[in-house]
Amino acid sequence: RVRPWMSAILAPSPRLSPRAVVVTRPRRVVRVSASAEPCKRVKVCVNKECKRAGSNRTVALFEAAAAADASLEVTTQVCLDECGLGPNVQINGDDGPIVNGVKSQADVDAVLAKLAGGEDGAMASSSETIRVGFIGAGIMGVPMAKNLLKAGHGVTIWNRTASACDPVVAEGATLAASAAEACEKSDVIFVMVSDPAAALACAEAAAPGLSAGKGYVDVSTVDAATSTEIAALVRGTGAMFLEAPVSGSKAPAEQGALIFLAAGDRQLYDRVAPHLEVMGKAHFFLGDVGAGANMKLVVNSVMGSMMASFAEGLTLTEKAGLDRETLLEVISLGAINTPMYALKGPNMIKGAFPPAFPLKHQQKDMRLALELGEKLDVTMPVANAANEMYKVAQGKGKDDDDFSAVIVALEK
């Protein structure tokens, strides 16, 4: 029997597009039993500390099986110990064997086969057998690649500056000598680089290692024209292409809480869904190449404008002789409260801007969003004014600081 809390897993939320997959985590023990006396038991263990992505997807797959099999009982439990490849599944009671990394339908079918008296050999996991490549080892790429490693995926990594890969190699990744080699040794390749020029250069360097059956997933933020050019290059090798720019910065990347805005080859999107769920809390499929790129520019344009307005408010508060800490508290209690203000505000007051999302990248995204607006004949006075503030901050040497350093544009 499906409990009400599972409706968000088994059916699209009325507040979300059916193209969205949101990874949620159970916060309590839930027990669902068929009416008949169960003789087969499965317990899905979720690690609360690491917030392992994909857990509720696994629960939903087992619940669907239980709905069709009265002898199957499924229990979910929050576990406080390490969950290994996660989510873990324990078979036939607390003393039964534990199977790691149960994420896909194939994984669930293998567990059910064990319950039915099938072979006890290693479980065939479709997601675990996919060889993963990663191109880019910057602020975002390093934690994303690390999360893939922590989830049990083998990773081959390449970066133009090889030493930037050291933190990932130290945790078990294989260092490739070139982008092409990273692709040759991988089935799917994720790319996270700084700008359109770098993304195109990486695709050109990677192309000799691509071929039919491989997938190339560019999670960088670029404009739709560049993404279309990369797609043509990748598909020309016989490989599939997916753009999947992310919403989120350093902390969400570390926490596996990014949001992926994907478009391109749907088959590849379905194939890499388990990987997206390791690195993120939600992923959307938006259609043809360019749709993901454009959505990301809209999101970052709004974010950049919000930060510029916030910087104005903090500056005006100080000049009016008011306490800026009190402003943060007032904002936190009202309708305009946002995690971004709570996170960035205290450091902005101190004049400290540790980079989570560099200001130069925010300005680049504002520029690309304004170019999109001009192309579509959309007037964007707020974004345009915010963009000028970022350019002033760049002129004051804040390129590599966090984008919250836009506040220095208001200093006299």
Tokens, residue 397: 């040497």
DSSP result, 36-97: SPP-EEEEEEEETTTT-TTHHHHHHHHHHHHHH-TTEEEEEEEE-S--TTSSEEEESSTTS-
Tokens, residue 260: 């992926």
Residues near 28 by Cβ (< 8 Å), separated by ≥ 6? Answer: 78
Cα(344)–Cα(98) distance, rounded to whole angstroms? 42
CB 247 within 8 A of CB 261: yes
Using only C-alpha atoms, what is the Rg of the chain? Answer: 23
103: helix, strand or coil: coil
Question: CA nearest 280: which of 261, 254, 249, 259?
Answer: 259
Known active-site residue 51: no
Cα(307)–Cα(404) distance, rounded to whole angstroms? 7
Catalytic annotation, pick one of 250, 281, 296, 364: 296
Q: How far is CA 361 from CA 183, 242, 307, 355, in A?
A: 26, 22, 14, 11
CB 144 within 8 A of CB 122: no
CA 195 from centre of chain: 18
Q: Roughly how many angstroms between the first and final C-alpha of the chain, as a whole number? A: 65
Tokens, residue 150: 């922590």
Residue 69 sits at φ, ψ, to 5 deg, of -135, 105
Task: Looking at 116-220, list the stretches that DSSP marks H as alpha helix, in order from N- to C-terminal side.
Answer: 141-150, 166-169, 179-184, 196-206
DSSP result, 172-194: TPEEPSSHHHHHHT-SEEEE--S
Q: How many CA within 13 A on the CB side of residue 324?
A: 20
List, by residue number, the catalytic residues. Answer: 296
